[in-house]
Amino acid sequence: MAIFSVFVVNKAGGLIYQLDSYAPRAEAEKTFSYPLDLLLKLHDDRVLVAFGQRDGIRVGHAVLAINGVDVSGKYTADGKEVLEYLGNPANYPVSIRFGRPRLTSNEKLMLASMFHSLFAIGSQLSPEQGSSGIEMLETDTFKLHCFQTLTGIKFVVLADPRQAGIDSLLRKIYEIYSDFALKNPFYSLEMPIRYVAPDAQAQWPWLTGPAAPRHVGSSQTGARTGVPCIGRQTLNHCATREALELFLNKTKV
């Protein structure tokens, strides 16, 4: 059982936060000889199968690893360009692992907006007035759970169908959002939640306290001037994104 993804969508349908807590599942792995009997093409900086379904490898699958070396986008972890590497006969035989690719940032934005529209349609289709909209969608591999606040913010969780306690999780995420974002005087409502890497403290070693590295990333004033605000070293001034990630990592099953 697991939590796959978390989305926070504003009342206009814009994606303001997204977290993936799963790795793409490998569908098939096979050793090939030259020439490669699959047609691979570059699409959205990912190497995808365009033609030649066989042995569990399907059109749309992405190249996840070559000879055990992970692939990120169009490059392997050791810096080799995938299509160039596979076009060289000297590199064969080669073992390639395929699977469904991760969603790109643009695809996540599009899906958030699409769900916002479906939610509104679902509310209007209801025979009763005041419908809450879509609260759960169920498939054979995952369940989509949605909790909408009174102000129109939607918290969406994709989880294993057997995962229990999602209602409590949604409300806990809402509580974290309220405490860490809405109480932050530098956060603009309806805007994406961002943060900088935890090593930001290295740039300002005189910052102290457990919230210091996160505090730097949560201050828009500090980002503009290069001088972090050190007058609010409290937990509520930390970046919301990091708080949510820490919480969700603790709730993985």
Confidence of residue 249 (pLDDT cuts 50, 70, 90): low
For the chain, the average pLDDT equals 77
Residue 196 pLDDT greater than 50, yes or no: no
The residues near 28 (Cβ < 8 Å, ≥ 6 apart) are: 55, 56, 57, 61, 97, 98, 99
Determine the Cα angle at 151 with ends 163 and 103, to 5°: 50
Name which of 50, 62, 60 is nearest 23 in CA terms: 62
* pTM listed for this prediction: 0.63
Q: What is the pLDDT of residue 203?
A: 43
The alpha carbon of residue 235 and the mean position of all alpha carbons in its chain are separated, in whole angstroms, by 24
> What is the maximal distance between C-alpha atoms in the chain?
67
Amino acid identity of residue 105, one-letter, is: S
Confidence of residue 91 (pLDDT cuts 50, 70, 90): very high
What's 77's DSSP letter? T
- Distance, in Å, from the CA atom of 37 to the CA atom of 41, rounded to the nearest integer, reads 13
User: Is residue 116 within 8 Å of 57, Cβ to Cβ?
Assistant: no
Residue 8 pLDDT greater than 60, yes or no: yes
- Distance, in Å, from the CA atom of 188 to the CA atom of 204, rounded to the nearest integer, reads 25
Q: Locate tokens 């479906």: which residue?
A: 118
Residues 151-160: tens digit of each pLDDT: 889 999 999 8
